[in-house]
A and B are shown apart, each in its own frame.
Chain A
Amino acid sequence: MPTDCVQHEEPSLMTSLFWLDDPPENQWENRHTKDSKSEFEWYTDTHVIARTESAFRAKFMEAKEAWKKETRFLSSSTEIVLNPHYQDIIGMGKKALPFIFMDLEQRGGKWFWALRHITRENPVALADRGKTKKMTEVWLQWGRKNRYL
């Protein structure tokens, strides 16, 4: 790949996921303009971030797959969310949100408990509790509004 392509590439969504705990504005500009860093530093930083991102993603995917496998036939919502792998995902905090929203959008699933605990928000109206399609829609809107999707 020509070096130019790497140098001028915008941060991918996946790369930017790892800065979600910081104020989202101007992170890219603050950290990665050519003015503030040498091309070598910029290139190295990008690769460190990519490796961290990749490791986190793998950790999330492993926990998610294990959770889905172990709770596949469980009926109890209580048991589903108390599964240790699900609790691990909650423990990952806000960094897990883009992955959770992506999975919710693509495959559905019982992510509402985790979303409430991680975000400390609940955009679902009391009257809509249990209406999975409606709850999914409301949470995805919330995710888009807060730039997790």
Chain B
Amino acid sequence: MGPEEPLPLAESEMQAARESVALTFIHINNSFVITSNLDDGYNCVAWAASDQEKTWWPSLDDYWPDNVERKNTVESFIEAFGTTGYTPCKSSQLENDVDKVVLFVKNGQPTHMARQLPSGRWTSKLGPEFDIAHASLDDLTGKQYGKPYLILCRHHSENLSAK
């Protein structure tokens, strides 16, 4: 199953899941697609880093790259993604050979990350639940995650995926 293909759920299950997403993220465009089963084995930050084996967060119970301060700050996230070759950049537009992830911030604190797909759409893991593919970053703007705050880019030649 690809990151943009809908999960093969029964219609009623899919409808219930979509309704719960739409109720939480009130700005979400109806074109979003649920693309995975529930899985609390990884979270949005891990998913942004293409890691489905761990949860990433600067807390004592989660993975965080070695030598990066475990502090829930934008700086700590920049440093953590720096270990995999990402650096801050300006545009969230699709570019050839550039991976992009976006950090959402609420009340000054990181809350969520999304990763750009090759099509230009975005993929987000919603907490301990499922992944979705969505059209724009504004889709997830609101009470839960705040706003997209920082874009991080990585040229394909700089992929230093975390071990």
A76 and B71 CA atoms in complex are apart in Å by 12
The smallest beta-carbon distance between A118 and chain B, in angstroms, is 14
User: In the bound complex, do residue B41 and residue A132 qualify as a contact, i.e. CB atoms below 8 Å apart?
Assistant: yes
Are the CB atoms of A77 and B40 closer together than 8 Å?
Answer: no
Determine if B112 and A76 form an interchain contact, defined as CB atoms under 8 angstroms apart.
yes
Asked if A73 and B127 sit within 8 Å, CB to CB, the answer is yes
Interface-centre pick from A76, A77, A109, A113 (highest chain B CB count, 10 A): A76
Number of A-B contacts (CB under 8 A): 83
Classify the interface of chain B: helix, strand, loop or mixed. Answer: loop
Tell me if B62 is interfacial: C-beta within 8 Å of chain A.
yes
Tell me how far the C-beta of A133 lies from the nearest C-beta in chain B, rounded to whole angstroms: 6
Contact string against A for B residues 38-60, beta-carbon threshold 8 Å, 1 for contact and 0 otherwise = 00111111100000011111011
Interface size class of B (residues with CB under 8 A): 35 or more
CB distance from A39 to the nearest CB of B (A): 48
Q: Which of A78, A80, A81, A116 contacts B109 (CB 8 A)?
A: A78
Q: A77-B59, A78-B72 are in contact. Are A130 and B54 (CB under 8 A)?
A: yes
Q: Encode contact with A along B77-106: 1 for CB under 8 Å, 0 otherwise.
A: 000000000000000000000000000000
| Residues A73 and B60 in contact in the complex (CB < 8 Å), given A78-B72, A108-B40 | no
Q: Which residues of A contact B (CB under 8 A)?
A: 71-81, 108-110, 112-113, 116, 124, 129-133, 135
| Interface contacts beyond A73-B24, A75-B45: sample of 9 additional A-B pairs, CB < 8 Å, sorted by A | A72-B24, A75-B112, A78-B72, A78-B109, A113-B61, A129-B64, A130-B64, A131-B63, A132-B40
